[in-house]
Structure 1
Amino acid sequence: MRVIPAADIADVLTFPELIETLRGAFRQGVVTPVRHHHSIHFPDQAEATLLLMPSWNDFDQQGHSERGYVGVKIVTVFPDNASRGKAAVAGVYLLFSGKSGEPLAVIDGSALTVWRTAAASALAASYLARPDAKRLLMVGAGALAPYLIEAHAAVRPIEEVLIWNRRPEKAERLAERLRPRRYRPHFTEDLEGAVRGADIVSCATLSNHPIVKGEWLKPGAHLDLVGGFRPEMRETDDDAIRRARVFVDTREGAMKEAGDIAQPLESGVLTADDITADLFELTRGEKAGRRFYDQITLFKSVGTALEDLAAAILVFSRA
């Protein structure tokens, strides 16, 4: 059994290849049981979360499969880790042979997650963001932020990146770390002004309250919501839902787990029929993405074990 650390993942992955790998995985599909979602309560800190995300290739009656893998990601989310100078999300990925069940690899789950999550957002943006999108706003400066920036820049001609964070010094540090790049990174404290000028707004926060207001979105903007993975979490408001053509990574996951979708569904601001498409339908050409230049699009991601399995197989084959 091989152990594949974060450094090896960075050595073998590129966003163009990973994005295309995910495109193929969504077209083909795999078995993804409902993930286990457990809350861990503490008397002296914020509630933590344990996630178990299994997935495997589907087999026909003869037991044949193109790749034959089984995988499960085990993740913890400790929101208070930011105050300790540690990442809020940690985990490992276990990859097994789909033929024999033998363990093949233990892969750094945190690194795999940021790569596949960013690639999924960029995959969606390849259908939803305007082809001439040049200005990207990154809301949040955590571990996922630099990966989202690089992933979006892999599918659109990004020339300028603004970074906003509740703690401006953290956004400033990230902007400095991203220099030099083919795009110009800067930090900003003017969130409203940055949203109004952005072609793509990508959010990766753990906020329980809307940060980005729908009224700020300019015609033609694409809003990428990544951070909220529980029903009480929210990164944007109802105005954004009303103004946008809404897309998700998976319907079941987003409607049940994502507050940016579940809350508007509960209040009646959004209906299930208002969700235009998921990534299965977009990649298979069953539903259209952006329909006209000035349309506002919104993509909500909560993550799916399909993305983990596809990324893990790619890493295992390259590392």
Structure 2
Amino acid sequence: MLQLDPQATRAALDWRALVEALRAMFRDGCEMPVRHHHDFAVPGEADGTLLLMPAWVPGKYLGVKLATVVPGNGTRGLPAVMASYMLSDAGTGELKALVDGGELTARRTAAASALAADYLARADARHLVIVGTGRLAANLAAAHATVRPLSRITVWGRDAEKARAVAGEISDTLGIFTQAADDLESAVREADIVSAATLSETPLILGEWLPEGCHVDLVGAFKPSMRETDDAAVARARVFVDTRDGALKEGGDIVQALASGALSADDVEGDLYDLTRAATPVLREASDITLFKSVGAALEDLAAAILAYETAAAAERARPRAPMV
């Protein structure tokens, strides 16, 4: 059995390879039961969430992720999402790998956004605005840069110091001009892609700010009570989701827009199954505003875990062995 810590998991999940692994898994499909979703009390602060997410490809691989989301962790200098992933042989049940779930989740989430942007964002999209300064911010920048020719990245967060730190990290890692923004509205009005990864309960990105041709990527707000955009943003956009079953029940930006009448279920043009299978051809006009809402799916974790395991196993086999004496 392989054990992949955060560093090993990161090394085994090249961005381009991960985007393509997700594309193949959505196209080919797998077995994915409804995930277990439970809130748990954290005294003195917002509730945490426990997620159990199983999926399998019959006869090949079977996996399950155990994850917790604790909003208050930001004040403790800890990531909001912590997780572990167990990958097994689906024919024998043998445990093949224990993968760091936090790194797995961050990278597959960002890669799913990049996969959607590969279908929905303008081909010449160059300016990415990231809303949020958590763990996903740098991952989203790297993933989007894999599928679009980014030349400018802007980071906004409620904590200006954190936004500057994240901008510096992204600039150093990607070599792309990156700066922090004091004013979110001004940044959004100049964006080609807006990618939000927050735990906000109220809209941060307003529809009236969105320029023509913009692509909006909504990663946070994984509960019906959370929201990163307002009704106007959803109403102005062509709307897509990662999975219909998940986003229409759990994604606050979609659920609340459905409840208000700003959006109907029929207005959701497609999900990643449709996009990867060309069931929903996206004939994009230059002025179209597109919006992608993800809530995460066990299929994504399974695809990432398989890639991580197979990459790490291949590297292990190729490692020179000391001669026996």
Q: Compute the displacement of 1:263 (Å).
A: 0.8
Normalization by structure 1: what TM-score?
Answer: 0.96
User: What residue is the counterpart of 2:32 in the other structure?
Assistant: 32
Q: Distance in 2 between matches of 1:288 and 1:243?
A: 19
User: What residue is the counterpart of 2:64 in the other structure?
Assistant: 72
2:126 to 130, 134, 145: 134
Q: Please say if 1:86 is aligned against 2:86.
A: no
Q: Please say if 1:187 is aligned against 2:201.
A: no
Q: Which runs of 5+ in 1 are unaligned?
A: 60-64
Contact 1:202 1:226 in 2 (8 A): yes
User: What residue is the counterpart of 1:62 in the other structure?
Assistant: none
Contact 2:141 2:170 in 1 (8 A): no
User: What residue is the counterpart of 2:160 in the other structure?
Assistant: 168
Letter of the 1:6 partner, please give it: P
- Report Cα offsets for 1:223-281 as digits up to 9, x if no partner: 00001100000000000011000000000000000110011111211111000000000
* Total equivalences in the alignment: 311
Runs of at least 4 residues off by over 4 Å: none
Q: Which runs of 5+ in 2 are unaligned?
A: 313-325
- Report Cα offsets for 1:154-212 as digits up to 9, x if no partner: 00000000000000100001111223333101101110000000000000000000000
Q: Please say if 1:21 is aligned against 2:16.
A: no
User: What residue is the counterpart of 1:103 in the other structure?
Assistant: 95
Counting only pairs closer than 5 Å after superposition, residues 1-319 of structure 1 correspond to structure 2 as 1-57=1-57, 59=58, 65=59, 68-180=60-172, 181-319=174-312
Contact 1:127 1:290 in 2 (8 A): no
Identity score, percent = 53
Normalization by structure 2: what TM-score?
Answer: 0.94
Q: Compute the displacement of 1:291 (Å).
A: 2.0
Q: Distance in 1 between matches of 2:170 and 2:246?
A: 32
Contact 1:159 1:183 in 2 (8 A): yes
SS of 1:289's equivalent? coil
Contact 2:25 2:299 in 1 (8 A): yes
Q: Distance in 2 between matches of 1:240 and 1:314?
A: 35
Q: Distance in 2 between matches of 1:11 and 1:43?
A: 37
User: What residue is the counterpart of 2:321 in the other structure?
Assistant: none
Q: Distance in 1 between matches of 2:283 and 2:297?
A: 23
Contact 1:129 1:290 in 2 (8 A): no
Letter of the 1:86 partner, please give it: L
Q: Distance in 2 between matches of 1:302 and 1:179?
A: 28
SS of 2:135's equivalent? coil
Q: Over the residues paired in the alignment, what is the CA RMSD in angstroms?
A: 0.9
